[in-house]
Each structure stands twice: as C-alpha cells, then as structure tokens.
C-alpha cells in the first residue's frame, strides 16, 4: 500500500499544480483585459492633452475626468485580480494601486499652465547659387583635313557580313 499512496500523492500534487496554473491564467486573462482598457484610457487622455496643446485651447481636468475614472477603475480591478492569484504577478506592477496612491480631487487639482510655445527658429539665409563652370569645348585637331576620308571603311550592299556555314 505504501507505493500506491506515494503515486496517489504525486498525482494529486501534479493535479494541484495544474489547477493553480489554470486558475492563475484565468485571472491573468482578466488582468490583461483590464490593462488594455487602462491603456486605451491613457491613450485617450494623451490625445486630448495633445489636441489642447496644439490648438492652444485651455486644458481643464474635467476634459479627461471620464477617461481618468475609467483608468483608475481598471487599475483597481487589476489590483483586485492580482490579490486573487495564488502567486501575485509582477507583470502589472505599473498598474497596481498601492497605499501611497492618492486619488486627486477635481476641486483641489490646479489646472496646469499650458507650456509656452517654443521660439521659432530664424530662417537660414539663402546660400548663393554656384553656377558650374562651362565644360571645355572639344574641337577637331587643326591638322586634319575636313575632306580626308581615308580612315573610313566602305560598306557595299553586296556583302554586309558573311555568315558561317554550318557543317
């Protein structure tokens, strides 16, 4: 009976390990979904801020309050899911709400001043256009007679070329 008890205990350990892994993976998939939601909220906040900065519009915290609330809710869900895991994950540390996290209040949050626009850089002075030098003209040698055709080859219509006869 001792051998069968050891086999049974080993099998039970394997089953427990697989069961914990499956449970952790289920929680991980929920955490990944919440992370995607939080990232989407962060992206929307960034788009609103950039749009305000580019248009010169005043930025108000109320413009991003819905996205901020959604991001905080997702972060809280990730924190809750992480505590459900049998072995807490470190993959989502940036999304966990810790004790030192302070939720800002809309009334107490000062409106950030828009960043000053950078000074425009002075336009560079136009450079003078450099004209290329004229190419030297190539002329025929002075000693050649214009009517001298002695180095020319005459081609007659009778035989322009000869073809080799195949054997």
- Max mean pLDDT range (53-67, 92-106, 124-138): 53-67
Q: Is 85 exposed, middle or buried (0-12, 13-18, 19+ CB in 10 A)?
A: middle
Q: Is 81 helix (H, G, I), strand (E, B) or coil?
A: helix
pLDDT given for residue 33 in this prediction: 92
Does the global pTM surpass 0.85? no
Q: At a CB cut-off of 8 Å and minimum separation 6, what does 91 contact?
A: 31
Q: What is the pLDDT of residues 115-156, one digit of tens each?
A: 677 788 888 888 887 777 777 776 666 666 667 766 666 666
Q: Which two tokens stand for residue 69?
A: 């609330």
- Half-sphere exposure of 32 toward its Cβ, with a 13 Å CA cutoff? 6
Tell me how far apart the alpha carbons of residues 84 and 23 are, in angstroms, rounded to a whole number.
Answer: 9
Mean predicted confidence (pLDDT) in 26-52: 90
Highest mean pLDDT among 57-71, 84-98, 107-121: 57-71
Rounded CA-CA distance 167/162 in Å is 15
Helix (H, G, I), strand (E, B) or coil at 89: coil
- Residue 24: closest CA among 87, 110, 92, 98: 87
Question: How many residues in total does the chain contain?
Answer: 167
What is the rounded average pLDDT of the residues 89-110?
60
Tokens for 150, please give them. 């002695």
pLDDT at 59: 83
């Amino acid at each position: 009976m001792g051998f069968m008890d050891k086999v049974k205990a080993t099998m039970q350990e394997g089953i427990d390990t697989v069961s914990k892994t499956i449970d952790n993976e289920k929680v991980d998939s929920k955490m990944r979904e919440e992370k995607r939601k939080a990232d989407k909220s962060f992206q929307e906040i960034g788009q609103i801020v950039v749009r305000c900065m580019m248009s010169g519009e005043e930025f108000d915290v109320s413009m991003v309050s819905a996205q901020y609330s959604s991001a905080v809710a997702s972060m809280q869900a990730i924190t809750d899911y992480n505590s459900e895991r049998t072995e807490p994950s470190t993959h989502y540390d940036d999304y966990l709400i810790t004790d030192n996290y302070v939720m800002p209040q809309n009334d107490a949050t000062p409106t950030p001043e828009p960043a000053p626009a950078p000074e425009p850089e002075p336009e560079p002075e136009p450079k003078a256009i450099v004209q290329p030098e004229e190419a030297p003209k190539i002329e025929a040698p002075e000693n050649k007679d214009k009517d001298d055709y002695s180095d020319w080859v005459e081609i007659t219509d009778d035989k322009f070329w000869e073809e080799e006869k195949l054997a």
